[in-house]
Amino acid sequence: MSKIRLTLVRHGESAFNSMNLVQGHMNPGLSTLGCNQAELIGKRLQNEKYHFVYTSDLKRACHTAEIILRRNQETQIQPTQDARLREVNLGIWQGWPISVLRGTLAQLKIPMAEFEFEDGESRDQLLTRAVSFIDDLCLTTTEEPINKPIFR
């Protein structure tokens, strides 16, 4: 049986994160802190050998991957963007203050994982999207162990 070694990395802090705004599928770039965080994880992973790199198509994830790969000196690797690696689509709540969303959920007594976001996606839709990516990733394995980082 083939083996895959995955390195999962969350993107650095985004401009929306720094302003405490709900982002979901919105596309803000990294904040200064987010760039610094990517540099730090790049330093931590600088000796890892990667065969493939996958990232969502959002700026914050792509920029995080670029910074890490530059630190890693694996310049010949170009990240493959895949929209299935995006965060959950939070619909009409995207761009709103996180405090407003949390307050609404508290009033409704609904955990965020169970809340159905208008014009967004359900937890089941998110899981279907993520599993689809993982299934496709497993189909691309070889007989050698492969290290594939994923930046979302």
Which residues belong to the annotated binding site?
A: 10-17, 60
Residue 30 identity: L
Our answer to whether residue 87 is catalytic in this structure is yes
Rounded-to-integer distance, Cα 48 and Cα 15, Å: 29
**Residue ranges at the known binding site for substrate:** 10-17, 60
- Residue 34 structure tokens: 């987010």
| Cα dihedral 15/80/113/124 (nearest 10) | 150
Our answer to whether residue 74 is catalytic in this structure is no
Active-site option among 39, 51, 74, 87 = 87
Rounded-to-integer distance, Cα 100 and Cα 97, Å: 5
Active-site option among 11, 63, 74, 121 = 11
State the catalytic residues.
11, 87
